[in-house]
A and B are shown apart, each in its own frame.
Chain A
Amino acid sequence: MNPLDDELRSALRKTEPSPDFTQRVMQRIEAEGREQPARWSWWSWLAQAWRVPMLRWAATAVACIALAVGIAEYQRYRRVRAEGEMARAQVMLALEIASNKLNVALAPVQQVEGHQVRRPPSGARGRADSKAQPPR
């Protein structure tokens, strides 16, 4: 073995604390145990309240009612939302049908208007005819 290792083991050997060490630790543990109940917190209050059977049942009932109301409200919300979606789809369908009908009705009108644009105006033709025929 390395002599330095040996010397280090000897230098760093374990030593005992003072004889009343255990007693002092126990005193601190007891003191801490006495202090703890005096410390008020929400958690300790809840833990104490939970030990009372009446309060425990009441809390459970309130929680169950809250859960039931929550579920019912959620179902209602989902139903209203689904109805809204359906109404929206119906409106979109109606708009689409109306748009198609309008397109069908507009097509002949546009056709007629197209013919009128290509034909020369009737007034101009009259003047040309009068120029071609010599006056009697």
Chain B
Amino acid sequence: MRHHQAMVYSLARHFLGDPSAAEEVAQDVFLQLHRNLGSIKSSSHLNFWLRKVTAHRSIDCARRRRPDAPVSLDDVPEPVAPASSPDSGRDGAHDPAVAERLQLLVRALPEKRRMVVILRYQEDLELHEIAEVLDMPINTVKSCLQRSLAILREKLTRCFGDVPV
């Protein structure tokens, strides 16, 4: 469990943006795993199962918490560009402000697209793996990811014009 808890918790945390709700979801996932231990066939199947259950439980949790329409990307307040050094982000050192802003922007994406982006960049999953986890056609995953990246790039460029995105 210790081996997988960071993955499960982080998926929920990045998706929901709320540490306590993410812990609740992660606990539910491990409880469900305990009930279904007999159906797990291998280590890779366990990873797949955990990602799938966490993704679906996080989406359900988000829908329960906020049944109305999700916040639009345009509603996310645009912060003033931080006074970071011009070289930040170019030499491999990541700007915390950019990371924080990206987390906010990802959280403002629609549910499915948000989960696609999180699975792609947190878990480094290929498109077909994401399609399997989310029960979506691979072309939908591809278009979701492209659209999300275009939006994120545009928003980030608007905030941090000097950061190469």
The one of A7, A9, A16 in contact with B98, judged by C-beta atoms closer than 8 angstroms, is: A7
From the candidates A7, A10, A17, name the one contacting B165 in the complex (CB within 8 A): A7
List of B residues within 8 angstroms of A12 by Cβ = 10, 14, 102-103, 106, 117-118, 121-122
* Docked complex: B75-116 residues within 8 A CB-CB of A: 89, 94, 98-100, 102-103, 106
Instruction: Pick out which of these stretches binds chain B: A22-30, A53-61, A81-89, A95-103.
Output: A22-30
Kindly identify which residue among B1, B89, B121 contacts A3, using a CB–CB cutoff of 8 Å: B89
A113 within 8 A of B: no
Chain A residues, Cβ within 8 Å of B31: 25, 28-29, 32
Q: Which of A6, A10, A18, A22 has the largest count of B CB atoms less than 10 A from its CB?
A: A10
In angstroms, Cα B103 to Cα A30, docked, is 35
Which residue on B lies nearest to A13, using beta carbons? Answer: B122
CB-defined contacts of B23 to chain A, threshold 8 Å? 17-18, 21, 24
CB pair B6 A15 closer than 8 Å: yes
Cβ of B149 under 8 Å from chain A: yes
Q: Are B156 and A4 in contact (CB under 8 A)?
A: yes
Q: Please state if B121 and A9 are interface contacts (CB–CB under 8 Å).
A: yes
Identify which of A3, A9, A24 gathers the most chain B CB atoms within 10 Å of its CB.
Answer: A3
In the complex, chain B residues whose CB is within 8 Å of the CB of A7: 89, 94, 98-99, 102, 156, 163, 165
Contacts A13-B122, A14-B7 given: A4-B106 contact, CB under 8 Å? no
Q: Which residues of A contact B (CB under 8 A)?
A: 3-18, 21-22, 24-25, 28-29, 32
Chain B positions within 8 Å of A, measured between CB atoms, are 1-2, 5-7, 9-10, 13-14, 22-23, 26-27, 30-31, 34, 89, 94, 98-100, 102-103, 106, 117-118, 120-122, 124, 149, 152-153, 156, 163-165
